[in-house]
Amino acid sequence: MTVDDATGEPAAEAFDAAASDAPVDALATRPRFARTALLAVVFVCAACGLVYELALVSLGSFLIGNTATQASIVLAVMVFAMGIGSLAAKPLQPHSVTSFAVIELLLALLGGLSVMALYAAFAYLELYTPALIVVAFVLGLLIGAEIPLLMVLLQRIRRQEAGAAVADMFAVDYIGALIGGLCFPFLLLPFFGQLRGALVVGLVNAAAGCFLVFVIFRKSLRRTQLVLLSAAAIGVVAALIAGLALSSRFEVTARQALYRDPIVAAQRSAYQDIVITESRNGAGADTRLYLNGDLQFSSVDEHRYHEALVHPAMAGRHSSVLVLGGGDGLALREVLTYPGATDVTLVELDAEMIRLARTDSRLTALNRGSMTSPRADVVTADAFNWLRGSDERFDVIVVDMPDPDDSATAKLYSTEFYAMVRAHLAPGGRVVVQAGSPYFAPKSFWCIASTMRAAGLPATPYHVDVPAFGDWGFHLAGTDGPVAPMVDAPTPLRFLSPEQLSAATVFPIDRQPLDLPPSTLMDPRILRYAQGEWATY
């Protein structure tokens, strides 16, 4: 080993000689082009690696919810595995070309099929989290082994100081990660979806690795190595293409395994997985809507939920009404039964949900065409941001949001959100909030009450029986203080009566109010409560 006289450290050429399996000049192209091509491959590999990470996080948030936990698991496991992979790559450096080829093909195959494998584990085996940890660890291991091997290959093309080589390598790597991070939400998800997007990235990953090995460093390979690696590359590409060809059929089959009844409509929007099922029996059809696997309503008893949600708030002045959420149009249907409701606005985040509520015959039959009513202004927007940018005031505000079991919805159950809701109430106005089950999720239910109270909306809690959900609760408040639920509907209701509402405000001894601190944007207690309670529901 030669030693640098100035530093006493091993000279760079000693590192290069030990870390190569062929002479430095064993290149199929000019060194300058070879070096540029290698850095381009580093760029592509970094982009693909980050997409694999984001795909795992995104899939978990769609299937499980709880985005923060999913992101923490994936990132922690993958970063740890990347460190292990970097160490594991040290003995592979004398065979850097063949080792890189094998690692890149494995990464392309496993990364491309990762979403499909995890979806299958979720749909068929109910082993999603253990499978996620294994997949994240294996992918991190392979990603971590890339950089040390690419560093060796870079030095084989042109020897340079270690610091300069590291700077060049990581600069390109970080830029690639940036591009991969931007391509995932703005290109891959909208055009390919999660399943096919991962497969497409796997093909890109395989192509980049094959280009570096079979074009730039092919002279470094013996004939036997070239034949074996070529066969492996063909096999990997064939498997990924087959995955693309079968992905639609697989997704339909796996999705159906998650639901009891036949799926009659399914759509993956930018925000959620929308599924409509329908079963028929002697009593008629039962149409059900699911968002990210969570039941939103059953047509058999949805009227019990929506009557209890809307009508107590409408028993007063109600010429102007705001509905936040409720993109299926069922709460809006109940609002529009009041002829005096002349100025009605519905704010829904998901444009795809609005489209289905307007065009799907099953939904339009249930919502009675409310989403296309000339009396209703349907706005596609995030409710939180819409409230921040609006100065309108309403007599009634109906908050019909999904349960707060992930970070995206937890902000809609915060003190800050309810303070904005109060600011948009006209004098004497009312607000009603769907608050989950006081029986299955008591901490979440009573935390919403304390959060509304902290925002100046002391609420009256009440609960009703909705067979599809169980015991379900709501909070009704007014600008002038607590409001007693009452019904003054212009037409007879199918479920709700004054006697039933009076009973609905009574809670059994074992379901008395809990004194809990409010939930805020900076301390989303509601998220912790909901994740813990709904996980066992």
Q: Confirm whether residue 104 is marked as ligand binding.
A: no
Q: Confirm whether residue 343 is marked as ligand binding.
A: no
- For residue 343, the cross-strand partners are 320
| pLDDT on residue 15 | 39
| pLDDT on residue 28 | 67
The amino acid that residue 351 corresponds to is: A
The amino acid that residue 78 corresponds to is: M
For residues 363 and 271, which has the higher predicted lDDT (pLDDT)? 363
> What average pLDDT does the chain have?
91
Neighbours of 114 (CB within 10 A): 24
Q: Confirm whether residue 328 is marked as ligand binding.
A: yes
Neighbours of 494 (CB within 10 A): 9
Query: What are the DSSP calls for 488-510, one per residue?
Result: --SS--SS--HHHHHHHT---GG
Q: Confirm whether residue 306 is marked as ligand binding.
A: yes
273 is catalytic: no
DSSP H helix total and E strand total for the chain: 18, 12
Residues sharing a CB contact under 8 Å with residue 499, sequence separation 6 or more, in sequence order = none
With b for 16 or more beta-carbon neighbours within 10 A and e for fewer, the 88-110 pattern comes to bbeebbebbbbbbbbbbbbbbbb
For residues 297 and 491, which has the higher predicted lDDT (pLDDT)? 297
Task: List pLDDT tens digits, range 23-36.
Answer: 444 676 788 899 99
For residues 405 and 367, which has the higher predicted lDDT (pLDDT)? 367
* Range scoring the smallest mean pLDDT among 22-26, 92-96, 118-122: 22-26
Mean pLDDT along residues 39-66 = 92
Residues sharing a CB contact under 8 Å with residue 249, sequence separation 6 or more, in sequence order = none
Q: Chain-centre distance of CA 371, in angstroms?
A: 26
CA 115 vs CA 4, 52, 68, 169, 201: distances in Å: 49, 9, 19, 29, 12
* Range scoring the smallest mean pLDDT among 165-169, 180-184, 259-263, 406-410: 406-410
| pLDDT on residue 158 | 84
Q: 508 φ, ψ to 5°? A: -65, 165
Rounded Cα distance, 515 and 497, in Å = 30
Rounded Cα distance, 71 and 407, in Å = 11
pLDDT exceeding 90 applies to what percent of the chain? 77
Name the nearest CA neighbour of 399 among 430, 434, 449.
434
| pLDDT on residue 535 | 56
Cβ(473)–Cβ(463) below 8 Å: yes
| pLDDT on residue 280 | 82
pLDDT exceeding 70 applies to what percent of the chain? 94
Task: List pLDDT tens digits, range 145-155.
Answer: 999 999 999 99
Is the Cα torsion angle 463, 466, 472, 476 positive or negative in sign?
negative
284-291 vs 343-348, strand pairing mode: unpaired
- Reported residue count of the chain is 537
Q: Where are the beta strands (DSSP E) in 338-393?
A: 343-348, 376-380
Mean pLDDT along residues 383-410 = 93
| pLDDT on residue 4 | 45
- For residue 482, the cross-strand partners are 477
Indicate the pTM of the whole model: 0.83
Name the nearest CA neighbour of 379 among 342, 344, 420, 411.
344
- For residue 324, the cross-strand partners are 347, 399
Task: List pLDDT tens digits, range 416-443.
Answer: 999 999 999 999 999 999 999 999 999 9
Rounded Cα distance, 474 and 472, in Å = 7
Is the Cα torsion angle 439, 441, 444, 447 positive or negative in sign?
positive
| pLDDT on residue 10 | 42
Residues sharing a CB contact under 8 Å with residue 301, sequence separation 6 or more, in sequence order = 466, 467, 468
* Domains defined for the chain, CATH in brackets: 31-258 (1.20.1250.20), 300-534 (3.40.50.150)
Which listed residue (21, 350, 395, 400) is catalytic?
Answer: 400
Mean pLDDT along residues 455-479 = 95
533 — pLDDT class (breaks 50, 70, 90): confident
Residue with the two structure tokens 């990924």? 240
Task: List pLDDT tens digits, range 221-271.
Answer: 999 999 999 999 999 999 999 999 999 999 999 999 989 899 999 998 888
Q: Confirm whether residue 348 is marked as ligand binding.
A: yes
Name the nearest CA neighbour of 324 among 251, 246, 390.
390
- For residue 287, the cross-strand partners are 278
CA 56 vs CA 78, 501, 531: distances in Å: 11, 45, 19
Confidence check: pLDDT of 20 > 50: no
